Amino acid sequence: MSAVVQLRDNGGMSTTDLPGAFEHRYAALGEALHEPAAFPGFHAPELIAWNAPLAESLGLGDLNDLNDLNDQPARLARWFSGSEPLPGSRPIALAYAGHQFGQFVPRLGDGRAALLGEIVDPAGTRWDLQLKGSGPTAFSRGGDGKSSLGPVIREYLLSEAMHHLGVPTTRALAAVATGEDVFRERAEPGGVFTRVASSHIRIGTFQYFASQGDLESLRVLAEHAIDRHDPGAAATDQPFLALFRGVVARQSALVAKWLSIGFIHGVMNTDNTAVSGETLDYGPCAFMDEYRAQKVFSSIDRRGRYAYANQPAIVHWNLARLAECLLLLDEDVEGFQAELDRCPDILAAEHLRLMGAKLGIEAPREADRDLVDAFFRRLEAKDQDFTLGFRALADRLEAGDESAFGEVETRWRARLAEQGDAPDTVRARMNAVNPLYIPRNHQVERAIRGGFAGDYTVFHELDTVLRRPFDEQPEFAAYAVAPEPEERVLRTFCGT
């Protein structure tokens, strides 16, 4: 509590007074890895969302007390928009490169984001706190470094939904409306998003130094990545190979999880592929409504490079780019090739495990892949909803006739009969892994339209319902419903 009082009385407090004081390990890695950042600030920022449970888990519970005090949401809005320095923060923009739609761009970097620093939570885990949309940096090129409120609301809802769906992801701590317009295709209200990530190290970060032949920085980066994500690798004979093994395992499992919930990232460029294995950068991403294997939403993905069913091949390709970088530190080509080759196997095994569970199968076998494929072919042929299809299938366990899913259902019932569980047991098991609520595009767009008009009702309702995606919440039943054909969102935009 005393920290709160000091924050109110003394804006120029020392870092040790801030609950969960900032640390700056990444900043200390050397000047080649980042550029200093400064925030222009905003005159009348308004806090539109504050993630109190996340703040609590990060050891920033004193900030929740601030949020509860009458005059303090304004304080949080100023801090989390870069309008007033957050005590102890030292903003930097991180350098990175990346393959964008297959084309290598040697210098991208944080052009509209800045790392405030790291905090270590009560369990000892280190987290990055980053502001997104806070103003231009040395990496902004022609851009304004700002964000429309649209992408802020979208990332807040989708990243939190992903977390509650059990998928590794960066998190949302705060969303602020800046009170100032940004100019995209038209004037739109601006926003700043506070992202929490277990790091912001991307495959593209490695590519930045590898492409410059800066092996010293590459090594410093790799050692830091090991420290944060694969500490066990440090003690092995080939730490960089062990780091790579970790990234392959995490990214492969991640993409399998995306597939299991109908998620399409939309911009799987190497600069958006985190070595932590967290889902990173929610741009034109989307959950599909009706199932289509080749579904694409992003307006800029004209050739469907990042279509739903292409994601496994793309993550494999991206991991190959990381291997190329790390081979500059450890020349064991065969070793890296062997680790890279594990990507499709890990992905396929995880895919089978997850899809089997979605069908109520406890220990899926190779032969069950056929049943999974047949179920998806049926959904596609009948224009059925991905998410609700699995809930509807579980409901079939209570029904007598066998017609709703045709021949697939007959096969599925036969497979379940081998397990011998009671129908209500299987149904409960299926409903525990098949969400009822996902952030549907048409609802997310309603939340954004509301936000543009200063009405955050839909945003907050969606945020609330998506915290318990597997549980029926009768008061929010409308959010479970698939869009009518005319309500379907066909295209999504980066909006940056």
How many residues belong to the chain? 496
112 binds, among Mg ion, ligand AMP, none (CB under 5 to 8 A by kind): ligand AMP
| 267 belongs to the binding site for ligand AMP (CB under 6 A) | yes
283 binds, among ligand AMP, Mg ion, none (CB under 5 to 8 A by kind): ligand AMP
Task: Give Cα 33 to chain centroid, integer Å.
Answer: 23
Alpha carbon distance 29, 231 (integer Å): 17
Cβ atoms of 134 and 160 within 8 Å: the answer is no
Q: Which stretch binds ligand AMP (CB under 6 A): 11-19, 110-118, 160-168, 249-257?
A: 110-118
Upper half-sphere CA count for residue 241 (Cβ side, 13 Å) = 13
Q: Which amino acid is at 289?
A: D
Q: Which amino acid is at 12?
A: G
Q: Which stretch binds ligand AMP (CB under 6 A): 13-21, 135-143, 360-368, 402-410?
A: 135-143
Q: Which stretch binds ligand AMP (CB under 6 A): 75-83, 109-117, 353-361, 388-396?
A: 109-117
Q: Which residue stretches of 213-310 are H helix? A: 215-229, 239-261
How far apart are CB 205 and Mg ion at their closest, in Å?
11
What is residue 60's three-state secondary structure? coil
Number of chain residues interacting with Mg ion (CB under 5 A):
2
Nearer to ligand AMP, 111 or 435 (CB): 111
Number of C-beta neighbours around residue 14 at 10 A: 11
Report the DSSP beta bridge partners of residue 188. Answer: 182
* The two structure tokens encoding residue 439: 């952030």
Nearer to ligand AMP, 264 or 354 (CB): 264
Query: Annotated catalytic, 271?
Result: yes
* Residue from 20, 109, 356, 435 binding ligand AMP (CB under 6 A): 109
406 binds, among ligand AMP, Mg ion, none (CB under 5 to 8 A by kind): none
Which of 486, 435, 170, 431 minimizes the C-alpha distance to 287? 435
Residue 375: enclosing H or E segment and its boundaries?
helix 368-381
Nearer to ligand AMP, 111 or 335 (CB): 111
* Residue from 108, 131, 222, 447 binding ligand AMP (CB under 6 A): 108
Alpha carbon distance 261, 11 (integer Å): 44
The one catalytic residue in 62, 110, 230, 271 is 271
Number of C-beta neighbours around residue 65 at 10 A: 17
Task: Give the residue closest to Mg ion by C-beta.
Answer: 281
Number of C-beta neighbours around residue 190 at 10 A: 24
Q: Which stretch binds ligand AMP (CB under 6 A): 26-34, 106-114, 402-410, 419-427?
A: 106-114
What is residue 324's three-state secondary structure? helix
Alpha carbon distance 253, 266 (integer Å): 18
| 311 belongs to the binding site for Mg ion (CB under 5 A) | no
| 112 belongs to the binding site for ligand AMP (CB under 6 A) | yes
* Residue from 168, 246, 283, 469 binding ligand AMP (CB under 6 A): 283
Alpha carbon distance 210, 330 (integer Å): 13
Alpha carbon distance 28, 191 (integer Å): 29
How far apart are CB 446 and ligand AMP at their closest, in Å?
23
| 82 belongs to the binding site for ligand AMP (CB under 6 A) | no
Residue 476 DSSP label: G
Task: Give the residue closest to ligand AMP by C-beta.
Answer: 143
| 461 belongs to the binding site for Mg ion (CB under 5 A) | no
How far apart are CB 289 and ligand AMP at their closest, in Å?
24
| 143 belongs to the binding site for ligand AMP (CB under 6 A) | yes
Q: Which stretch binds ligand AMP (CB under 6 A): 43-51, 139-147, 228-236, 258-266?
A: 139-147
| 154 belongs to the binding site for ligand AMP (CB under 6 A) | no
Number of chain residues interacting with ligand AMP (CB under 6 A):
18
Cβ atoms of 228 and 198 within 8 Å: the answer is yes
| 155 belongs to the binding site for Mg ion (CB under 5 A) | no
Interhelix angle 423-431/333-358, nearest 10 degrees: 130
How far apart are CB 272 and Mg ion at their closest, in Å?
4
Residues 268-287 close enough to bind Mg ion by CB under 5 A: 272, 281
Q: Which residue stretches of 80-214 are H helix? A: 149-164, 203-212
How far apart are CB 211 and Mg ion at their closest, in Å?
17
Q: 49 vs 94, 116, 412, 453, CA distance in Å?
A: 26, 19, 43, 16
The contact set with ligand AMP (CB under 6 A) reads: 108-112, 139-140, 143-146, 267, 271-272, 281, 283, 494, 496
The contact set with Mg ion (CB under 5 A) reads: 272, 281
- Active-site amino acid positions: 271
